[in-house]
Amino acid sequence: KCLVCSITLTYHKNTESLNCHYCGSYLKPQDACPECKSTKLEYIGTGIQKIEEGLKDLIPELRMARMDRDTTTRKLSHYRMVKDMEAGKTDLLLGTQMVAKGHDLPDVTLAAVISADVALNLPDFRSAERAFQLFTQLAGRAGRGDKKGEVLIQTYEPDNYIFNYVSRHDYIGFYKKEIELRSELSYPPFSKLVRIVFGFKTKSTGEKVIKSLSARLKRKEAAGVTVLGPVIAPIEKIKNLYRWHLILKGKNSKSLRQKALEISDMVKEIKDLKIDIDVDPINML
């Protein structure tokens, strides 16, 4: 794990480093396990580079390009990959979400999503919406010319309602289903949200402050405002700060802002506290 974030490091083979995609720190891999000291180490991840290696072993003659953060840092590198694909110099374009966005490649007849459940199971009420957008965009890369296209999606949840709509490109059907679920739980657009994130240098300090804050919030309920939390944030630690968050939910923006300022005032005397107030939050992690 990262030394300052509660995030597993990602191994980048081209730089032979373990990188944190949140704080930007990196480590050189060790020759032995830091826990048991064994030297029998093997990289068994399912990232883009691992998939690239597997495909090369299965189909050595495949002309393949990888489009991700590591390969698109140079000027025009992204443009060249697309042009090579258009010219037929590349058989397969492998990459992260940027592969799905807006490319018009008439000769592509197959599109595939690997590990779709990663996008589906994020702790965010928008996860289904974002997954539907991504999968539908990627599906739209195949069969754009005269040849028919095929789309494969790898998932442990084939019965998830989202795939029924993706397979039919049914935007309206997905919207009706998703808006029904949002209505039942009073999530946007049926309410407004404010997210407050508290960051502490030590976990013990955070636990004490949050416990006290929770008790005070229970005694001071605001009409028209629902307080969810505070609880430990999905990513508990980033850049050496231990994080708790709470969500304010309601229909009146003024009431939400007033409640957010009231909560901010409750903890303003706390030393070494970093507080972020995010109105209409996009990121819930």
Confidence class of residue 152 from pLDDT cuts 50, 70 and 90?
Answer: very high
Judge if the upstream peptide bond of residue 230 is cis by omega within 30 degrees of 0. yes
Q: Compute the chain's Rg from CA coordinates.
A: 23
Q: Using alpha carbons, list the distances in angstroms from residue 120 to 106, 115, 226.
A: 29, 10, 26
What's the pLDDT at 70? Answer: 79
Q: Which amino acid is at 137?
A: Q
**Residue 211 — pLDDT band, cuts 50, 70, 90?**
very high
Instruction: Select from 25, 271, 87 the least CA-distant residue to 1.
Output: 25
Q: With the CA atoms of 86, 90, 93 and 94 taken in that order, what torsion angle do they form, in degrees rounded to the nearest 10?
A: -160
- pLDDT confidence of residue 208: 95
- CA distances from residue 126 to 7, 132, 197 in whole angstroms, order as listed: 22, 10, 19
Q: What is the mean pLDDT of the chain?
A: 91
Model confidence at 193: pLDDT above 90: yes
Q: Is the pLDDT of residue 174 over 80?
A: yes
Give 95-109 pLDDT, tens digit per residue: 888 888 777 887 899
